Structure 1
C-alpha cells in the first residue's frame, strides 16, 4: 500500500526544482496530483514527458497564483471534478533581488504577490474543499530568509516572513476540522532559484552552512511528504528547517 494512494494533491510551482521533486515524490507514493506552474511551458512539457508513466494521475495547469479571479475559476473546476482536496503544497516562489533603495516598485509587488498573496489565494479556496471531509494537509515552502534577511532580498524576506505568519494563523483556524497547516524552511537548495548567483557568492554561502553543502530538492520533498502524511497528524503550526544547520 503506497502512503498517498488515492489522495488528491495540489502543488504550486510544480514543474521545477523543489516543486517538481515534491510532485514526483507524491506521484511515486500513489497520489493524484494537479501541478500548477507560472509560465514556463517548456519546463512543464519536459516534466509531462518525464512523468508519462503516471498517466492521468498527473495533470499540469498554467496559473498565476496571485490572480484571484483566475484562482477562483481554477478551484471551481477542481471542485466540480474532485469535490474535495487532501493536500495543498504552497511552493510557488520567485526572486527579484535589489537593494531596497534601488528596488523597482513592480519587483517589490510581484515577489509579494506570488510568494505571499499566492499562498493566501490558494489556501483560501483549498480550505473549503478540505472542510467538506474534515481532513486536509497544507504545507508552505518558506525560507530562513524570513527571519535572517539578506542584503538585496528585502522583498523576498518580507514575503517569506509573511508566509510564516499566514501559516500559523491559518493553522489555528482550521485545526478543529482535522486540517493541519505547517511549513518547511529550506536553506540553500541546489535549484534554478539560486543558479544565477556568482560563483564567489556560492562559495561564501556554502561556508555559512555547517554541512558545507547545498541541499537537494529531494531532501526537501521528504520533509513535505512527512508533514502531508497521517504520521504528522499532531504537528500543526510548525516550521521544519531544512538548512544543513544554517
Structure 2
C-alpha cells in the first residue's frame, strides 16, 4: 500500500535529508517549501531515481492563513512531519513584534491548525504518525534565543498533549529535538564559535541532517510502534 507523507520545510537541509531517506524507503511525499524553489527543484531531481510520487507545495507558513494552501493540496495522507522553522538570535527586549508574530505562526499556530485540518485524513486510515522537529532549546532554553526557545518548547507541549488525544485512534505523535546540526542555520557562526560549540558537545561534532532523518525514519517505522508522546533528543550528549 502506498504511504504518503507531508514534509514541511522540505527545501531546507534537514527537510531535504528527511525527504531522501523516506523516498529511499518507498514513501510518496508532499514537499512543502516557501521561497526556495530552486532547492525543491534540485531535491526532485535527487528523488527521481526512487520512482515515487513527489508533489511540491508552495506556501508561507509564517502567515496566519498560509497553512490553508497546504491543506488544499493534500489528498491521501499517512504522516505529517512538521519541519519548517527559522532560528532567531537577539535579546528579548530588542525583539520586533512582527518577528515574534512570525515565529509564533510558523512554529506553533501553523502546526496546530494544519494538524487540526489533516487529522480526519489520518483517522480515515485508522493509523498514522505526526512528528515535530523541535529543538534542544525547546527542552532547556537558551539566552539570546528566548523567542525561539519559547516556540520550540510549545511544540513539545503540543506533542505531549496531542499524543494522549490521538493514541486510541492508532495515531502516534512524537518529536525530534536536534542539537546543533550542520545546516544553513549555522552559517552565521564563525569558525571559532563553531569550534566552541563542538567542544561543548560530548561527541565532539555537530549532527548531520542525515542523523535527524534517521531518527524520523525510526519514529515512522513499526520498530517504534509503542512509542508516542516522546521527545527523541539527537544532540550528541549536549543536553541529557
- 1:122, CA displacement in angstroms? 2.3
For the aligned residues, what is the CA RMSD? 1.6
1:1-246 → structure 2 map (5 Å cutoff)? 6-55=2-51, 57-67=53-63, 69-79=65-75, 82=76, 85-246=77-238
Gaps of 5+ in 2: none
CA contact (8 A) 2:91 2:144 kept: yes
CA contact (8 A) 1:66 1:121 kept: no
- 1:125, CA displacement in angstroms? 1.8
Gaps of 5+ in 1: none
Query: Within 1, Cα distance between the matches of 2:146 and 2:132?
Result: 19
Query: Within 1, Cα distance between the matches of 2:19 and 2:114?
Result: 17
- 1:18, CA displacement in angstroms? 0.8
Query: Within 2, Cα distance between the matches of 1:188 and 1:213?
Result: 9
With normalisation by structure 2, the TM-score equals 0.93
CA contact (8 A) 1:65 1:121 kept: no
- 1:227, CA displacement in angstroms? 0.5
Query: Within 2, Cα distance between the matches of 1:68 and 1:227?
Result: 29
- 1:51, CA displacement in angstroms? 2.4
With normalisation by structure 1, the TM-score equals 0.91
- 1:189, CA displacement in angstroms? 0.8
CA contact (8 A) 1:190 1:216 kept: yes
CA contact (8 A) 2:133 2:175 kept: yes
After TM superposition, the structure 1 stretch with the greater mean CA deviation from structure 2, 92-101 or 28-37, is 92-101
Number of positions where the alignment pairs a residue of Structure 1 with one of Structure 2: 238
